[in-house]
Amino acid sequence: MIVLSIETSCDDTAISIIKAKNSKKLDYANFEVLSNLTASQIEAHKPYGGVFPAVAKREHQSALVPLLIRALKKAGLLKESKTVDNKKILKIKKSLEKNEELFLQLKEFLTKYQLRDINKTAVTIGPGLEPCLYTGINLAKSLSYYYNIPAVGINHLEGHILSSFLSPNEKLELPAIALIVSGGNTQLIYFEKIGKYKIIGETRDDAAGECFDKTARILGLDYPGGPEISKKAKDCKTNKHNITLPRPMINDKNYDFSFSGLKTAVLYHSKKNRITDDYVKEMSFEIESSIVDVLISKTLRAVDEYKVKSLLLGGGVTANQKLIKEFKKRAKVKLFIPHKKHTGDNALMIGLVSIYSPNVKKIIKPISNLKIND
């Protein structure tokens, strides 16, 4: 089976093509990555200090079809079409009347190329930003309709759970705890088996990645905030400002998170101090330490209480080196960490879910607040 997968949940446009050798068992040796491409929107969102949905939608529309062509070419599957179905193109035009740029590029693609070697398309349906989700879903539906191939909707969070399998790893022992940490999500998930999950804790307000972005903006740092704060924290050599930030909900008996108070503490503290380079470094060190301490403490407590055999990390924030170092030092179960290139949003993980999980859904509409156990 060859699967074309599409990811447009937020600010990364991604397309990948996977060839499954064995669809019964999820293992690195049982699938082959034919292509994996991502177009980043970081530069487009830097002026806003975060993701601006209208800009993200526009960037997805302009990037999707060129990325599709590149992905097919890299996979050796770009073939010229000998026939054109104008009736189908007209129907697609009607369905994409609010996405004119996407339609014009797609029309040119449909008249030139074919997708006979693709057995299925898979696309993220949520959680995410609806305008962004719609662009990927519209492309998947159009390709499915024109070429008469199945299209399935995938839960973005399940993709992050399975992303560790995109690199060679030890055999996963279940049950497991999965920590998903990104710009939009911070969740602890009990992982019983592939396709069966239970949320045991999640953020009540800002996600960890969102907190990194917002505090970075307060300190005058670029977007995305996580890497910028980590750089400054690494260069911190002093503590002359004696900064101490709260560790929100770290001692609460539940597994929920809250990072909005941390952001507010940074804002109030920064208003009372001159924002020098040393101050930014010291504050960055404390911001990173606070977020990492909370994530580590709650996750390892869940590992102990649920008596699991493995711990999986997923999401862009899990590329944070301080977080990885602490988990490697303190975790007493098998630890699965995605390769850095697979921690952020990518289409490969969407393809994996479409092959190996029973949770694939018929595409109906985007679901911005989709839960892992929905």
Q: Quick check: 24 pLDDT over 70?
A: no
Predicted TM-score (pTM) of the model is: 0.94
**What is the separation of C-alpha 92 from the centre of its chain, rounded to a whole number of angstroms?**
28
308 and 235 part of one domain: yes
125 C-beta neighbours (distance < 10 Å), count: 28
16 and 32 part of one domain: yes
Q: Do the Cβ atoms of 107 and 31 come closer than 8 Å?
A: no
Say if 348 falls within a structural domain.
yes
Domain CATH for 294: 3.30.420.40
Say if 293 falls within a structural domain.
yes
Say if 62 falls within a structural domain.
yes
* pLDDT bucket at 58, cuts 50 / 70 / 90: very high
Cα(25)–Cα(28) distance, integer angstroms: 10
Residue 338 has φ and ψ, to the nearest 5°, of: -65, 155
Amino acid at 262: L
Reference 233, options 176, 291, 186; nearest CA is: 291
Q: Quick check: 48 pLDDT over 90?
A: no
Cα(291)–Cα(300) distance, integer angstroms: 14
Say if 183 falls within a structural domain.
yes
239 C-beta neighbours (distance < 10 Å), count: 13
Say if 373 falls within a structural domain.
no
Q: When comparing pLDDT for 239 and 119, which is higher?
A: 119
**What is the separation of C-alpha 300 from the centre of its chain, rounded to a whole number of angstroms?**
23
Strands (DSSP E) along the chain, which ranges?
A: 2-7, 12-20, 31-40, 79-80, 113-114, 120-126, 151-155, 176-181, 186-193, 196-202, 310-314, 334-336, 361-362
Torsion angle in degrees (nearest 10) through CA of 209, 213, 215, 218: -170
Cα(195)–Cα(98) distance, integer angstroms: 35
* pLDDT bucket at 207, cuts 50 / 70 / 90: very high
325 and 350 part of one domain: no
Cα(284)–Cα(307) distance, integer angstroms: 34
pLDDT of residue 264: 96
pLDDT tens digits along 109-136: 999 998 889 999 999 999 999 999 999 9
353 and 320 part of one domain: no
pLDDT of residue 84: 94
Reference 37, options 14, 56, 53; nearest CA is: 14
200 and 303 part of one domain: yes
125 and 249 part of one domain: no
Segment 187-214 shows an average pLDDT of 95
137 and 194 part of one domain: no
227 and 94 part of one domain: no
pLDDT of residue 28: 67
pLDDT of residue 337: 94
Cα(121)–Cα(360) distance, integer angstroms: 11
Reference 18, options 81, 74, 79, 80; nearest CA is: 74
User: What percent of the chain lies above the pLDDT cut of 90?
Assistant: 82
Torsion angle in degrees (nearest 10) through CA of 342, 347, 351, 352: 10
132 and 207 part of one domain: no
What sign for the dihedral angle of Cα 185, 321, 161, 141?
positive
Query: First vs last Cα of the chain: how many Å apart?
Result: 27
Say if 167 falls within a structural domain.
no
Instruction: Verify cis geometry, omega within 30 degrees of 0, for the bond prior to 127.
Output: yes
> Mapping DSSP to helix (H, G, I), strand (E, B) and coil, where does residue 219 land?
coil
Segment 328-352 shows an average pLDDT of 94
Say if 273 falls within a structural domain.
yes
DSSP, residue by residue, 310-327: EEEEESGGGG-HHHHHHH
pLDDT of residue 214: 95
9 and 108 part of one domain: yes
Q: When comparing pLDDT for 167 and 199, which is higher?
A: 199
185 and 333 part of one domain: yes
* pLDDT bucket at 270, cuts 50 / 70 / 90: very high
Reference 223, options 42, 40, 16; nearest CA is: 42
Q: When comparing pLDDT for 127 and 50, which is higher?
A: 127
* Domain count of the fold of the chain: 2
Residue 272 has φ and ψ, to the nearest 5°, of: -95, 0
Say if 211 falls within a structural domain.
yes
81 and 185 part of one domain: no
Q: Quick check: 23 pLDDT over 70?
A: no
Reference 178, options 193, 188, 164; nearest CA is: 188
* Average pLDDT of the chain to the nearest whole number: 93
Domain limits for position 62: 2-160+343-362
Torsion angle in degrees (nearest 10) through CA of 11, 263, 337, 71: 10
